[in-house]
């Protein structure tokens, strides 16, 4: 009986771990497969190589040059391949260890960060299209034309649907296999640049009308909306029943994920383009004034701030106690997630920053005309 009770206890513990969104060691994936990562928090809890003690030793492992324009695509990393869009019109697939190009696809001006799921890469384009490509070969599987001319909202792929916004003011849900439209929702704005987050059957997305929307993921029916004081280009993060999002009104908001009621807000004094990252009970976000803030996720109390050398419009990435962030025309930083102390930085000038991705001991970031990979010697 004791043996049976012990087995039941272990099974219950494993079930609770999955129910609360914590992956077991065996199931943990180090892929950074989309902008938010699949946990919708920009946090990689599976990273075990880089930590606060060794991140100061980061060095450039490789770089890959692209003919680009100022561009904000962030890399996706899945199964040993880095996928990144470029202002030169192409989507690139690079070997994650060496930076060697595996294939390119002329996406007509890749506009969003790519997302990778089940052997398919999804990406939005500056021609208003959404493309689905074979992740191994780059072969086109399908494309869908939105009613807009620019898709900068990065896809979220959940349960057979691709969710992303367009500059026509709509959020779209497309079938992952065929590209057929499942539904679209028209916000009151003209531009949805925010990348959606999907959790527990609900899609959360911001609009330039100043609202954060919560929609039924299956039908697109509006569940609730919350009005901030300005544009919401920030992409929401969802953790423990709370939605975190920034606004151009200079605030970060924490909202009840079920009904949109405000839990707390924190005034940062400058516009928030950056999307929050949530990890270990803390929220990390950058501001256009150049500061990175760490807030208590439950109360919104400020825990620390860090002054970067320029505007922080990129979104932080968190992995194994370290926060990675990129500043505009400035540096890539690695900060102690608990204290905000700078552990490492590296600068390349001039450049427009993307949001970093951290996977298997390597930090990937795109800057203007090339993508960089930083790792340990």
DSSP states of 308-319 as a string?
Answer: -SS---SPPEEE
221 or 22, greater pLDDT: 221
The angle formed by the CA atoms of residues 156, 160 and 164, to the nearest 5 degrees, is: 30
Q: Predicted confidence band at 352 (pLDDT cuts at 50, 70, 90)?
A: low
* Average pLDDT rounded to a whole number, residues 228-253: 97
- Is the sign of the CA dihedral 17, 275, 332, 115 positive or negative? positive
* Average pLDDT rounded to a whole number, residues 141-151: 91
- Which residues 6+ apart lie within 8 Å of 332 measured at CB? 324, 325, 326, 345, 346, 347, 353, 356, 363, 365, 372, 374
- Does residue 12 form part of some domain? no
In DSSP notation, 82-113 reads EEEE-TTSEEEEEETTT--EEEEEE-SSB-S-
Tokens, residue 84:
């990144």
- Does residue 171 form part of some domain? yes
Q: For position 189, which CATH number holds?
A: 2.130.10.10
Other Cβ atoms less than 10 A from the Cβ of 320: the count is 19
Going by the DSSP 8-state scheme, the letter that residue 4 receives in this structure is H
pLDDT of residue 110: 60
Q: How many Å apart are CA 110 and CA 144, to the nearest integer?
A: 14
- Does residue 149 form part of some domain? yes
Length of the chain: 377
Of residues 255, 258, 259, 219, the one with CA closest to residue 234: 255
pLDDT in tens, 98-121: 999 999 999 876 678 999 999 999
Phi, psi for 10 (deg, rounded to 5): -65, -45
Residue 350 class from Cβ within 10 Å (0-12 exposed, 13-18 middle, 19+ buried)?
exposed
What residues does 245 pair with on adjacent strands? 253
pLDDT in tens, 118-135: 999 999 988 889 999 999
- Does residue 9 form part of some domain? no
pLDDT in tens, 273-326: 999 999 999 999 999 999 999 999 999 999 999 999 888 888 999 999 999 998
Tokens, residue 52:
């606060």
pLDDT of residue 22: 36
Q: How many Å apart are CA 207 and CA 211, to the nearest integer?
A: 6
pLDDT of residue 13: 33
Q: How many Å apart are CA 284 and CA 235, to the nearest integer?
A: 13
User: Mean pLDDT in the chain?
Assistant: 89
Q: How many Å apart are CA 34 and CA 47, to the nearest integer?
A: 16
Q: How many Å apart are CA 85 and CA 213, to the nearest integer?
A: 27
- Does residue 104 form part of some domain? yes
pLDDT of residue 19: 32
Buried b (16+ CB within 10 A) or exposed e, 88-100: bbbbbbbebeebe
Q: Is 0.85 surpassed by the pTM of this model?
A: yes
- Does residue 58 form part of some domain? yes
**Which residue segment(s) compose the domain that 371 sits in?**
31-375
- Does residue 19 form part of some domain? no
Q: How many Å apart are CA 183 and CA 325, to the nearest integer?
A: 35
On whether the CB atoms of residues 136 and 108 are closer than 8 A, the answer is no
* Average pLDDT rounded to a whole number, residues 353-376: 89
Q: How many CA atoms lie within 13 A of 58 on its CB side?
A: 29
* Number of separate domains in the chain: 1
What residues does 123 pair with on adjacent strands? 131
pLDDT in tens, 4-55: 333 333 333 333 333 333 333 347 889 999 999 999 999 999 999 999 999 9
Q: Predicted confidence band at 194 (pLDDT cuts at 50, 70, 90)?
A: very high
- Does residue 5 form part of some domain? no
Q: Predicted confidence band at 368 (pLDDT cuts at 50, 70, 90)?
A: low
């Amino acid at each position: 009986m004791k043996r049976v009770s012990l087995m039941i206890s272990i099974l219950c513990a494993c079930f609770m771990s999955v129910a609360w969104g914590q992956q077991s060691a065996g199931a943990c994936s180090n892929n950074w497969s989309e902008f938010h990562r699949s946990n919708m928090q920009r946090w990689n809890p599976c990273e075990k190589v880089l930590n606060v003690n060794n991140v100061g030793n980061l060095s450039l492992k490789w770089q890959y040059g692209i003919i680009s324009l100022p561009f904000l695509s962030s890399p996706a990393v899945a199964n040993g391949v880095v996928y990144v869009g470029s202002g030169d019109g192409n989507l690139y697939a690079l070997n994650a260890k060496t930076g060697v190009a595996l294939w390119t696809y002329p996406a007509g001006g890749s506009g969003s960060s790519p997302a990778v799921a089940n052997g398919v890469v999804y990406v939005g384009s500056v021609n208003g299209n959404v493309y689905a490509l074979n992740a191994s070969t780059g072969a086109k599987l399908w494309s869908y034309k939105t009613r807009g001319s620019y898709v900068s909202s990065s896809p979220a792929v959940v349960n057979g649907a691709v969710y992303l916004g367009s500059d026509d003011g709509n959020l779209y849900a497309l079938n992952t296999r065929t590209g057929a439209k499942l539904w679209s929702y028209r916000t009151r704005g003209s531009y949805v640049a925010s990348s959606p987050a999907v959790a527990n059957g609900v899609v959360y997305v911001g609009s330039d009308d100043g609202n954060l929307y919560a929609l039924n993921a299956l039908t697109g029916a509006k569940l609730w909306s919350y009005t901030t004081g300005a544009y919401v280009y920030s992409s929401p993060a969802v953790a423990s029943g709370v939605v975190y999002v920034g606004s151009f009104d200079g605030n970060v908001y924490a909202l009840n994920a079920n009904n949109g009621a405000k839990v707390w807000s924190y005034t940062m004094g400058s516009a928030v383009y950056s999307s929050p990252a949530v990890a270990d009970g803390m929220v990390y976000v950058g501001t256009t004034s150049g500061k990175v803030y760490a807030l208590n996720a439950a109360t919104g109390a400020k825990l620390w701030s860090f002054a970067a050398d320029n505007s922080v419009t990129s979104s932080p990435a968190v992995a194994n106690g370290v926060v990675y962030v990129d500043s505009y025309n400035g540096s890539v930083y690695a900060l102690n997630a608990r204290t905000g102390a700078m552990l490492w930085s590296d600068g390349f000038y001039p450049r427009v920053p993307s949001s970093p991705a951290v996977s298997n001991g390597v930090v990937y970031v795109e800057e203007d005309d090339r993508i960089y990979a930083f790792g340990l010697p």
